[in-house]
Chains A and B, each alone.
Chain A
Amino acid sequence: MATELAPNQVVPPALPMTESSPRRKRRGGRQRPLWRDLLRYRWLYVLLLPGLAYFIIFKYLPMYGLTIAFKDYVPFLGYSGSQWVGLEHFEALFSGPDFGRLMINTLILALLTIVFVFPAPIVVALLLNELRIRVLKRSIQSLIYIPHFLSWTIVASLTYLLFSVDFGVIAGWLHSVVGGQRVDYVAQADWFRPLIVLQLLWKQTGWGTIIYLAALASVDTQLYEAARVDGAGRWRQFWHITLPSIQPTIVVMAILTSGNLMDSGFEQIWLMTTSLNRDVADVFDTFVYYVGITQGSFSYATAVGLFKGLVGVVLIFGSNLLAKRLGQRGLF
């Protein structure tokens, strides 16, 4: 059984899942020879071919390319000609000076994401759900979705224009309130993490509400009517109906988030990294770029990337298992 996800949003499990019909049985149950299938469905296979070629070339060839993580890749010798070195690159990573810093930076950003970024859309969706003036609700939704469609380059530029030391609006405002020396928020290491969290909140909170609002909209209104008849006030309705109704969605989103904990968002981090804040800014994703592309150590960089990818796989399966153990419906 495979699971299918749409970007950023997963099925509110409150909705019925379709596609239950079993695979159609062939007439008479006979096994047709392969060539007859190929001939019969030739046009379908022709249509399938370009897309399949894409996946093989740009998704599966790179997976084969992961073998260079265990080799000493020399471009001149190619994938197969390069020497096997076993786990040398991984040993270098784990015993090297960068590993601790990368791990800590990645984990702190992940922790900040869980604490601040993950709950934000839930809270906003619940508040929006309580809003009774429809026009207002619609307009607010339209406005808070916008940042999702802006590029990280634009977000970084906006941050710069608002927080930079020489003319940034917010920087100037903070200076007039706090006083003292002018602070270069964008370049300073101390402000790197707060700015990253702020950017994530600004860009993704609104968009993140969509999935929760969909779950909230699918709640049977009879539940509320029944609760009212029983004398439940607004708070009790919220506590006993609204909140439980989005709980499965929250679990699914939590699984997805934990699967992505190692992905710190390359573009965002890269764009906010300065020479002054690299100690706190470097995460696995950007480190792979520095080592691989800038310095040309392809094998080492690939090993770092592979390590990160494997941790991600463990995390997503682990949290899925955990959710099931806790009696929740998992993702797969």
Chain B
Amino acid sequence: MARSRSVRYFDSPGSRAFDVFNGVLLTGLAIVTVLPMLYVLAGSFATESEISSRPFFLWPEKFVTDTYRYIFSTDTFVRALLTTVAVTAVGTVVQLFLTLTMAYPLAKRHLPGRALVLNLVLFTLVFSGGMIPTYLVVRDLGLLNSYWALILPLAINPFYLIVVKSFFQELPEALEEAARIDGCNELNVFLRIVLPLSKPIIATFSLFYAVAIWNDYMSPLLYIDDSKKWTLQMIVRQLTAANADSANVLQQLESVAFPEQGLKFAVVVVATLPILFFYPFLQKHFAKGVMIGSVKE
């Protein structure tokens, strides 16, 4: 990313002063960006009294795990966590399947009808039916209160589809041609030649899709009424949102004494942690994925 090292500026005092200023400013920016997350992490291991009495801390005075023990002892939270993990896993597989199978034929320029389908896809980027008509389709399919409603309506991200299509287009045609001469049909070419070559992009988009489902709040809000089927994001929102309908969902459902504030910190941490865990992998790939998509046709 960085400009070549051969480029040097005149090292005037003003220029050097700017470098120091710039370095400090950007470092400060990065710190400010992560501080809220670090505070919440620290808060989740602190006692109730520490959270309410100490203004800000990055390390709790007294290290306790009460909040975590509490939330993992409630059915509500554990169920939501397992639901979210399962929906994310199944959803990612479904989304990848649909995206890859659709992108491959679209990458074949000679395929009759390709332009039409491609334009159908591109049009959805500019215009869509919107919330209510989509809701009605989901309802008419009988998917309300079904986990499939969290997966199917978002099954293909058109942006990702186009990026994957561009990737397939850039694969060397000669390899596929050779396989065809050896008697492979298109399906086998796709499965045996193209997919193994696409591991990096498959890795990238499985992560992107997984993050999107994990983070999705709108779909459960629209399609899931049954609180037993709530995902983690719904629980987070119910517990911590400014306009949370009930101050405490977990207590309502379990009626046990609980660490009220620390609980919110811990729930936020658990809902964030998997993403932070996968973040290094995401980061490794996303710049590549981003640039591959930059193709005009």
Q: Which of B260-274 contact A (CB under 8 A)?
A: 261, 264-265, 267-268, 271-272
Using CB atoms and an 8 Å cutoff, list the residues of chain A in contact with chain B.
Answer: 1-7, 9-12, 15, 17-19, 21, 23-24, 34, 37, 41-48, 50-52, 54-55, 57-66, 68, 124, 127-134, 136-137, 139-140, 142-147, 149-154, 156-162, 164, 166-167, 169, 172-173, 186-187, 202, 206, 210-211, 213-214, 216-217, 219, 221, 224-225, 228, 233-234, 237, 259, 266-267, 270-275, 285, 288-289, 292-293, 298, 301-302, 305-306, 308-309, 312-313, 316
Flag whether B201 is at the interface (Cβ < 8 A): no
Interfacial chain B residues near A273, Cβ < 8 Å: 243
Interfacial chain B residues near A144, Cβ < 8 Å: 29-30, 33
Question: Which of B73-81, B85-93, B159-167 is the interface stretch?
Answer: B159-167
Q: Would you give 25 A-B contacts (Cβ < 8 Å), ordered by A?
A: A3-B122, A4-B122, A4-B162, A6-B289, A6-B294, A44-B108, A48-B117, A50-B101, A54-B102, A58-B137, A136-B26, A146-B34, A150-B272, A153-B215, A154-B236, A154-B271, A156-B237, A164-B242, A169-B56, A271-B242, A275-B243, A289-B131, A305-B133, A309-B128, A312-B127
Q: Is the CB of B106 within 8 A of A48?
A: yes
Interfacial chain B residues near A64, Cβ < 8 Å: 129, 133
Q: Is the CB of B133 within 8 A of A50?
A: no
Q: Is the CB of B291 within 8 A of A214?
A: yes
Flag whether B153 is at the interface (Cβ < 8 A): yes
Distance (whole angstroms) from the CB of A97 to the closest CB of chain B: 21
Q: Is the CB of A288 within 8 A of B132?
A: yes
Q: Is the CB of A19 within 8 A of B296?
A: yes
Flag whether B217 is at the interface (Cβ < 8 A): yes
State in angstroms the CA–CA spacing of A128 and B283 once bound together. Answer: 17
State in angstroms the CA–CA spacing of A157 and B236 once bound together. Answer: 7
State in angstroms the CA–CA spacing of A57 and B98 once bound together. Answer: 14
Interfacial chain A residues near B126, Cβ < 8 Å: 259, 313, 316
Q: Is the CB of A219 within 8 A of B243?
A: no
State in angstroms the CA–CA spacing of A131 and B185 once bound together. Answer: 52
Kindly identify which residue among A45, A160, A288 contacts B242, using a CB–CB cutoff of 8 Å: A160
Flag whether B233 is at the interface (Cβ < 8 A): yes
Chain A CB within 10 Å — which of B135, B166, B242, B293 has the most? B242
Kindly identify which residue among A37, A131, A271 contacts B22, using a CB–CB cutoff of 8 Å: A131
B interface, by DSSP: helix, strand, loop or mixed? helix
Q: Is the CB of A43 within 8 A of B101?
A: no
Flag whether B110 is at the interface (Cβ < 8 A): yes
Q: Is the CB of A146 within 8 A of B190?
A: no
Q: Is the CB of A234 within 8 A of B10?
A: yes
Interfacial chain B residues near A153, Cβ < 8 Å: 215, 217, 233, 236-237, 241, 271
Distance (whole angstroms) from the CB of A310 to the closest CB of chain B: 8
Q: Is the CB of B186 within 8 A of A41?
A: yes
Q: Is the CB of B26 within 8 A of A128?
A: yes
Q: Is the CB of B22 within 8 A of A19?
A: no
Kindly identify which residue among B104, B108, B132 contacts A305, using a CB–CB cutoff of 8 Å: B132
State in angstroms the CA–CA spacing of A272 and B237 once bound together. Answer: 10
State in angstroms the CA–CA spacing of A228 and B279 once bound together. Answer: 40
Distance (whole angstroms) from the CB of A79 to the closest CB of chain B: 8
Chain B interface bracket (under 10, 10 to 19, 20 to 34, 35 or more): 35 or more
Q: Is the CB of A9 within 8 A of B293?
A: yes
Distance (whole angstroms) from the CB of B120 to the closest CB of chain A: 6
State in angstroms the CA–CA spacing of A264 and B294 once bound together. Answer: 26
State in angstroms the CA–CA spacing of A160 and B243 once bound together. Answer: 10
State in angstroms the CA–CA spacing of A151 and B274 once bound together. Answer: 12
Q: Is the CB of A4 within 8 A of B293?
A: yes
Flag whether B25 is at the interface (Cβ < 8 A): yes
Distance (whole angstroms) from the CB of A8 to the closest CB of chain B: 8
Kindly identify which residue among B128, B166, B243, B268 contacts A63, using a CB–CB cutoff of 8 Å: B128
Interfacial chain B residues near A225, Cβ < 8 Å: 6-7
B 91-126 binary contact with A (CB < 8 Å = 1; else 0)? 000000111011111101111100001111110111
State in angstroms the CA–CA spacing of A164 and B58 once bound together. Answer: 19
Q: Is the CB of B240 within 8 A of A151?
A: no
Interfacial chain B residues near A173, Cβ < 8 Å: 55-56
Distance (whole angstroms) from the CB of B278 to the closest CB of chain A: 8
Q: Is the CB of A55 within 8 A of B156?
A: yes
Flag whether B209 is at the interface (Cβ < 8 A): no
Q: Is the CB of B23 within 8 A of A131?
A: yes
Question: Which of B37-45, B63-71, B249-257 is the interface stretch?
Answer: B37-45
Given A44-B111, A144-B29, 7 extra CB contacts under 8 A: A5-B162, A23-B110, A51-B102, A58-B137, A132-B19, A271-B237, A302-B130
